[in-house]
Each structure stands twice: as structure tokens, then as C-alpha cells.
Amino acid sequence: MSIPCPYCQHPFPPGAQSCPGCGASLLLEAVPGGTQPVCAVHPTLRGLGTCSRCGTFACARCLRSGPQGETLCVRCHQLEPDAPMPWDQRQELGMWRAFWKTLGQVLLHPGTFSHARAEGRTSDSLLFALLCSVPACFMTGLTYMLIFVGMPSLMEAFPESSQPTGDGSGPVFMRWLGVVMFVATTLLGPPLSVLMTLMGAGVDHLVLRAGGVTRPFNVTLRAHSLSEAAWTLGIVPFIGTQVAPFWALVSRFFAYRGLHRTTTGTALVGTLLAPLASCCLCGGGYIGLLFLIFSRAAQK
């Protein structure tokens, strides 16, 4: 529910501190001895809306949006019980429906993190991250296999472009390598990505703590694991794994801000600092490694 701006009547959502219509600050000083309602928490500020639960007036700083979009005061908002995520309701929903519904919620409605239950068991979070990584690992493995199996056939089709391999064991070796790559990526990929989730959450948690977050590590781990939902897009060949990391970062920002009930700034730094730093540190090395592999492959 929105409340009209006292200057221009443009509706503003609870939580806004300046009007989206005219840009005026909504933190209005109350006139001493005046007849206008004042905030129940801040008696020097004018009350702009009433809490739909307890009926007290609240200033712009104290207005909140409830789970159904109703207007709440900051005190009633804090009493609001945290809504479980579908992933927490696996008993009722069944494993796959819970997984599917959680994916939808994380990817399409990340705003719901702001009133979602913050704490979760470590094993529950890691299981979710594990399931999210399976499609991308499977598809990546399949891609490797097709490349390695297909490349020798391609070379045979254009014999003038490739050097003769002597005993002819090259293509067979390449095909076997393709199968080994597929099995390795599909089997080792998911546990490795769970390990990455655990480490990523650990680093992010240190950053978030520095930003003033007080909730424990399992909240960060839960937020980080749920934000891995985007990796299920890895099932779309080639495009999926390009889109997934960015979508995951967007989900992670919402998850950190929501589950830690922290500010936009802290959540943003917590989400981006570690990936940006590791990009700068490892980016050069990674490109170098790729260059080395490709130049070796070209020589052979």
C-alpha cells in the first residue's frame, strides 16, 4: 500500500525517505504544539501513515511494508514472523516441488528475501547449492565430450589441414579423453562447487561483518547457497553458464540484504568485493593459463 506525499500527493511506498514524484524529503519536522500527528517513535517527526496492525502513526523512517504489502510501523514489522522459504518446507511440499518453487522465488521474486526466514541448517543450504550445480556441470561435461569426440572426426574430414599423427592413436586418445572429461566434470563438479560456495560465503561473511552485520555465518551461507539458483540455467548450452554468474550476483545481493536485514550499501559490498578482487587477482593468471593450453594445442 502506498501513502500520498504531503507536497504533491504522489504515492510513495513505505520505506521511502524522499518522494519519488517531487523528490522532497519525507522526513518532515513536526510543528511544536501543532495538531498534526507525530511519529510514535520519533516525536519530533511528523507521522505520515498509520500502521495497519497497531494503528500508531509512523514517520517516513519508521514506515515498513508488510508481507502482503500492507503498511506497518517498524515495531510491528520486527514482530512479523519470518516466512519460511519453500526449501524449508520440503516435508510438506516434497523435495522437487520445494526445489522448483525456491528456484522461482529466488530468480523471479528476490524481494521476498526481506521477510524470509534468515537462519537455516548448514546441510540444508549446501544440499540446495549442490542440486543447483548439477545441470551446469552435466552440460559442461557434455560439451567437452562432444568437442573432444567431434574434433578428430573433423580433422579426418579435412586431412590436408592436420599433421599426420603417425600411428593413428591420436583420435582414439581424444575420444577417450572426451569421455573421461565428461565423467570427471559431472561427478567432481558438484562437490567442488559446494566447496566454492562454502569458501565464497566465508569470505563474503567477513566483508559483511566488517560492514556491521551481526547475524551468524549460517545466514550468509544460506543466502549464498540460495543465490546459486541461477546456476540451474547452466542446462541451457553455452548461454546458460554465461548468464548464470551475473544473475547469481543479483540474487545474492537481494539475499544478503534481505536475510541479514542490512543496508543496500553493505549488501552490495558484501556481494561484489570478493568477486571483483578475485577477478583482478586471478583474471590475469586464468587468461595466461588458457593461452598456454591453446598454444600447446596449436603446436601439436
> Which residues are at the interface with Zn ion (CB under 5 A)?
5, 7-8, 10, 19, 21-22, 39, 41-42, 51, 53-54, 59, 61-62, 73, 76
Strand partners, 72: 64
CB of 10 or CB of 101, closer to Zn ion: 10
CB of 17 or CB of 263, closer to Zn ion: 17
Amino acid of residue 290: L
275, exposed or middle or buried, with CB in 10 Å at 0-12, 13-18, 19+? middle
CA distances from 155 to 147, 164, 171, 173, 300 (A): 12, 10, 9, 14, 13
Q: Closest by alpha carbon to 35, among 60, 8, 4, 57?
A: 57
Closest separation between CB of residue 262 and Zn ion, Å?
20
Please list, residue by residue across 16-48, b when 16 or more beta carbons sit within 10 angstroms of its beta carbon and e when fewer do.
beebeeeeeebbbebeeeeeebbbbbbeebbbb
Closest separation between CB of residue 15 and Zn ion, Å?
12
Closest separation between CB of residue 234 and Zn ion, Å?
44
Closest separation between CB of residue 60 and Zn ion, Å?
8
> What phi, psi does 110 have (nearest 5°)?
-65, -15
Q: 234: how many CB neighbours lie within 10 A of its CB? A: 23
Residue with cell 510501523: 73
Closest separation between CB of residue 48 and Zn ion, Å?
9
Closest separation between CB of residue 49 and Zn ion, Å?
10
CB of 51 or CB of 208, closer to Zn ion: 51
Q: Closest by alpha carbon to 204, among 193, 213, 195?
A: 213
Strand partners, 22: none
CB of 79 or CB of 280, closer to Zn ion: 79
CB of 57 or CB of 113, closer to Zn ion: 57
CB of 8 or CB of 16, closer to Zn ion: 8
CB of 15 or CB of 21, closer to Zn ion: 21
Closest separation between CB of residue 281 and Zn ion, Å?
44
Closest separation between CB of residue 37 and Zn ion, Å?
11
CB of 41 or CB of 243, closer to Zn ion: 41
Q: Secondary structure of the chain: what % helix, strand, coil (to 5)?
A: 65, 5, 30
Question: Are the CB atoms for 187 and 224 separated by under 8 Å?
Answer: no
